[in-house]
């Protein structure tokens, strides 16, 4: 079955703080023509230097976030939560105008961006939606971390983390991205960090805007956020959310199974480079994925995500 590309019906704006820069940033998401993809435009720099395609090969920095950069050295950082919202909401084409070098972090999840997209509404366009179909398994590793793309009939993500911190520990989740799964099960999962690492991050020029308003903060085994967690396994759900945003830099939804074990932005991007460089590993198709509810074939144990937290 062929489906059609979508963009926003209306433009919509928001203002927020950059989690790493600490600066107040204004952002407007506009509709875009078919086959545009996702384009970021810095409105605080010269017009001829302003645009940056959101693509795996424009990624220039992967320390604590995903940053894209054009040939003029113009950057936009922390794009992964917004990209995940575009992916999970089915937005193919959009122009993101921004007056700073970082996407506002909002509450540390994708939920505010999903809300913006819903408020703007979406419209179907007169062009078939193009998918990237996985034809053979591709795996990349760094130490104990692994990331895998393998053939499948749907768009699915599985993730496993293993932290020494007892409050996090081992967590895993597995989802098919269909019928509102991203919005309902993943979009509200927030980024997280450790109070003990905050000083070092600030010395690196990072986390200047981080707070309990836009991240889960742990001190030892304790969650400092007064409201607690949104899900018992919010930590691994957020890692899955990050991966969805990183994978959308392929330029189209990927029909197949992504499996991550301790993976992060750098390994996710390395996987895309390795996968897309192998012409025998993938092909384009306009045939929409099968609406199956099963996820399988993992190389390590994957269980369905736990129920929402009650704290």
> Which residues are designated catalytic?
265
234 phi and psi angles, rounded to 5 deg: -60, -30
Q: Which two tokens stand for residue 203?
A: 């010395």
The three-class DSSP label of residue 277 is helix
Q: How far apart are CA 250 and CA 253, in angstroms?
A: 8
Q: How far apart are CA 115 and CA 29, in angstroms?
A: 12
> Which residues are registered as beta bridge partners of 219?
222
Q: How far apart are CA 108 and CA 235, in angstroms?
A: 12
User: 148 with 268: CB under 8 angstroms?
Assistant: no
Among 233, 237, 212, 215, smallest CA distance to 84 is for 237
User: 194 with 165: CB under 8 angstroms?
Assistant: yes
The DSSP secondary structure of 152-207, one letter per residue, reads: -SSEEEEEEEE-SSTTT-EEEEEEE--TTHIIIIITTPPPEEEGGGHHHHHHTT--
Cβ-based neighbours of 306, under 8 Å, separated by 6 or more: 173, 231, 232, 233
Q: Buried b / exposed e across 132-147, counting CB within 10 Å, b at 16+? A: bbbeebbebeeeeebb
- Report CA 284 to chain centroid distance, whole Å: 21
The three-class DSSP label of residue 86 is helix
Q: DSSP secondary-structure letter at 14?
A: E
154 phi and psi angles, rounded to 5 deg: -140, 180
């Amino acid at each position: 079955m062929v489906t059609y590309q979508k963009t926003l019906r209306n433009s919509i704006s928001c203002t927020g703080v950059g989690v790493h820069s600490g600066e107040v940033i204004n952002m407007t998401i506009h509709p875009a023509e078919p086959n545009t993809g996702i384009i970021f435009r810095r409105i605080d720099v010269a017009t001829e230097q302003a645009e940056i395609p959101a693509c795996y090969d424009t990624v220039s920095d992967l320390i604590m976030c995903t940053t894209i950069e054009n040939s003029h050295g113009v950057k936009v950082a922390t794009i992964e939560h917004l990209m995940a919202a575009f992916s999970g909401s089915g937005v193919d084409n959009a122009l993101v105008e921004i007056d700073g070098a970082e996407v506002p972090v909002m509450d540390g999840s994708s939920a505010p961006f999903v809300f913006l997209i819903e408020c703007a509404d979406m419209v179907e366009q007169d062009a078939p939606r193009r998918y990237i179909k996985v034809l053979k398994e591709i795996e990349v590793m760094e130490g104990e971390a692994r990331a895998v793309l393998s053939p499948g009939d749907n768009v699915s993500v599985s993730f496993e983390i293993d932290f020494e911190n007892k409050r996090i520990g081992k967590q895993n989740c597995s989802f098919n991205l269909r019928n509102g799964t991203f919005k309902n099960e993943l979009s509200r999962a927030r980024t997280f960090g450790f109070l003990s690492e905050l000083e070092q991050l600030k010395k690196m020029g990072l986390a200047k805007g981080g707070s309990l308003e836009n991240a889960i903060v742990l001190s030892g085994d304790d969650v400092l956020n007064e409201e607690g967690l949104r899900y018992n396994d919010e930590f691994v759900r957020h890692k899955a959310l990050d991966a969805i945003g990183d994978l959308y830099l392929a330029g189209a939804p990927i029909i197949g199974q992504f499996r991550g074990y301790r993976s992060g932005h750098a390994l996710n991007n390395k996987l895309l480079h390795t996968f897309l460089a192998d012409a025998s590993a993938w092909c384009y198709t306009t045939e929409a994925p099968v609406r199956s509810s099963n996820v399988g074939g993992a190389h390590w144990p994957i269980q369905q995500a736990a129920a929402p937290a009650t704290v």
